[in-house]
Amino acid sequence: MPLPYPFKKWERAGAQLYRGAVSVLAGPPGSGKTISSLNIVNQLRVPTLYFSNDSTRYTIVKRAFSMLTGVDPKIAAGILESSPDQAYNALSQLWMVRWDFSSSPDLEEIAMYGEAFREVYGQYPSLTVVDIAMNVEHDGVAEQNYWRLFPALKEVASSQNTAMMVVHHTSESAKFDHCPPKSSIMGKANQLPELIVTQVMRNSKMQYAIVKNRNGSSDETGDTYFTLPVDAAVCRIEDEDPDDGLIFHDGPSVPENMKIDNSEKGEW
């Protein structure tokens, strides 16, 4: 069964994370991928195992506190140091998340932590986040051979019935107008993931494009996209009603009476 949709516009676009499958959230460096990941986790509120190998424990705690409270990170840092009880009360909203901050976890460690999660809580995590793919130790890591990594993560996802969301990079040299295309995924390991979402952050908006979706519509060019308001200073993405029209205008997921003949791609 799939997980709930994290945002209303993700639901409108048919972007859903499935247990037993690997999904990818990708973007160029500095595009706010961890901000998106933290907000997705916060919105879903399901039992989650989060591997943060790209950000330190302190960075994640400060970002999560700002996301949950709206407090500027500079002020948040002071609260974390001087008022631990206040920080604890806010961060306890993420009670359903267990974290691992190994800088280069290997595949065995990822699988083992899933087993430990089940041993403690009586179930595997509904969601497993690997943030970020390039820091996972595996055969071929030196050559950035993700053809070896993704099948192994798929095996973990299948055996533990967890939705595996992998945060990944797109090529910095890729040219695009709105969001990175599917062809820009680093290592071009695009065959295995069930869902691939690319993103960029521009002008207080997080832009998302569904460039692969086995369970719905997609546009591999990244030119069909949707936006959500983001306050990067406090690491918060706001949900909003999808009242600006259809994301995709054709295909099996769009009812016949709602299809629109639209020759130009872009935001709706």
Q: Is residue 1 scored above 70 in pLDDT? A: yes
- Report residue 262's pLDDT band, with 50, 70 and 90 as the boundaries: very low
CB-CB contact of 99 with 43 (8 Å): no
Which residue reads 């369970």 in tokens? 215
d(CA 86, CA 90): 6
| Burial bucket for residue 21 (CB in 10 Å: 0-12, 13-18, 19+) | buried
The CATH number of 8-258 is 3.40.50.300
pLDDT single digits (tens) 74-119: 899 999 999 999 999 999 999 999 999 999 999 999 999 999 999 9
What mean pLDDT comes out for the span 238-249? 61
Which residue reads 């190994």 in tokens? 102
d(CA 100, CA 52): 6
d(CA 73, CA 79): 10
pLDDT single digits (tens) 24-50: 999 999 999 999 999 999 999 999 999
R_g of the chain computed on alpha carbons = 18
- Report residue 244's pLDDT band, with 50, 70 and 90 as the boundaries: low
Q: Is residue 143 scored above 80 in pLDDT? A: no
Q: Which of 130, 253, 140 is nearest to 193 (CA)?
A: 130
pLDDT of amino acid 142: 57
pTM passes above 0.75: yes
Q: Which of 33, 67, 80, 9 is nearest to 227 (CA)?
A: 9
Per the prediction, the chain carries an average pLDDT of 90
Task: Pick 240 or 205 by higher pLDDT.
Answer: 205
**What is the three-class DSSP state of 239?**
coil
Q: Which residues contact 212 (CB under 8 A, 6 or more apart)?
A: 182, 190, 193, 195, 196, 218, 220
CB-CB contact of 39 with 68 (8 Å): no
pLDDT of amino acid 251: 52
CB-CB contact of 147 with 140 (8 Å): yes
Q: Is residue 263 scored above 50 in pLDDT? A: no
Q: What is the biggest distance separating any 2 CA atoms in the chain, rounded to whole angstroms? A: 59
Domain ranges of the chain: 8-258
Q: Is residue 19 scored above 70 in pLDDT? A: yes
- Report residue 256's pLDDT band, with 50, 70 and 90 as the boundaries: low
What mean pLDDT comes out for the span 244-252? 51
pLDDT single digits (tens) 176-232: 999 999 999 998 879 999 999 999 999 999 999 999 999 999 999 999 999 999 999
